Structure 1
Amino acid sequence: MANRTPFRPKLWRQAAVLSTLCLTLLLSACGGGSGDSDDTSTPPPNTTNPDPNEFKGPVSLSWVPPAQRENGDELDITELGGYELRYRQGTDQKYISVIIEDPWTTDYYIEWLEGRHEFQIAAFDNTGLYSEFVSLQPEG
């Protein structure tokens, strides 16, 4: 764990990002077909899975609070200070960071994202000690 002080973005940015990152992907796909297996005049639908990191719409993220520190010691939720979510588009170098200072918050909603994005999350304790960032996949 690295000792870092939580980054606090400007309120307008935090509100905009907060309204955008709620950790449960709200995308769905519809399929169709006639069910006629003898019809070979139309090509079969594209059955390849879409890229799970490609978005055009709202994104919802969720996580489970850590129960132990990186060294294996037990971690009570009352010792947590919160979480830092960060995400970036494609090959961007800079992340957009969101600080959540409520250890009982376990989801985040992003109102709209377009393109390929990467999400990460870290927990920090009430003294500011950070965990490592880990990948976070939106729920589908």
Structure 2
Amino acid sequence: MNRSALYTLVVLAYGLTACGGGGGGGGDDDNTPVNPSDNQAQQLSWVAPSTRTDGSFLDLSELAGFKIYSGPSANNLELIADIEDGHVTSYDLSSMTAGNYFFGIVAYDTDGLNSPISERIEKTISE
């Protein structure tokens, strides 16, 4: 089956918490980060893509999962998790060693097509 590539995930969140963005039709504030609550401070959250790179609709049932990448710089990331569930849009980082990290996410569909890596964010993980 010849399918278009997945759309790039648009948003990783400030403080590694949830925020709006992605394929929704909210408004200009969709990409505005939200302040983390204490219990969310070590969590990475994102918005699943709803379109492919060619602009065609991506049904959530076609989304197979997400790959989480992390590393010491935006251009030096390694896979740290493969979430094999397209409905999961957060990842717990509380087990990571304290330090400064960059994060990026790749979405993949049921046909094995990967999105380009998302915009990278930088975050300090505290103890």
> Using the alignment, how far apart are the partners of 2:62 and 2:74 within structure 1?
35
- Give % identity: 31
Deviations 1:32-86 (A, max 9, x none): xxxxxxxxxxxxxxxxxxxxxxxxxx62110111000111110000001111110
Partner of 2:102: 118
Q: Aligned AA for 1:85?
A: I
Q: TM-score, normalised by structure 2?
A: 0.58
Structure 1: 5+ residue stretches without partners: 3-22, 26-57
RMSD after superposition? 2.6
> Using the alignment, how far apart are the partners of 2:87 and 2:118 within structure 1?
19
Deviation at 1:99, TM superposition (A): 0.5
Whether 1:24 aligns to 2:17 is yes
Whether 1:104 aligns to 2:97 is no
The answer on whether the counterparts of 1:24 and 1:109 sit within 8 Å (CA) in structure 2 is: no
- Matched residue count: 86
Which fold has the larger relative contact order, with Cα–Cα distance below 8 Å and residues 6 or more apart in sequence? 1
The answer on whether the counterparts of 2:67 and 2:79 sit within 8 Å (CA) in structure 1 is: no
Deviations 1:6-35 (A, max 9, x none): xxxxxxxxxxxxxxxxx439xxxxxxxxxx
Runs of 4+, deviation exceeding 3 Å = 90-94
- CA shift in 2, pair 1:60/1:76, >3 Å: same
Partner of 2:31: none
- CA shift in 2, pair 1:63/1:92, >3 Å: closer
Residues 29-40 of structure 1: pairs in structure 2 closer than 5 A:
none
Deviations 1:91-118 (A, max 9, x none): 8845143111111101111113322211
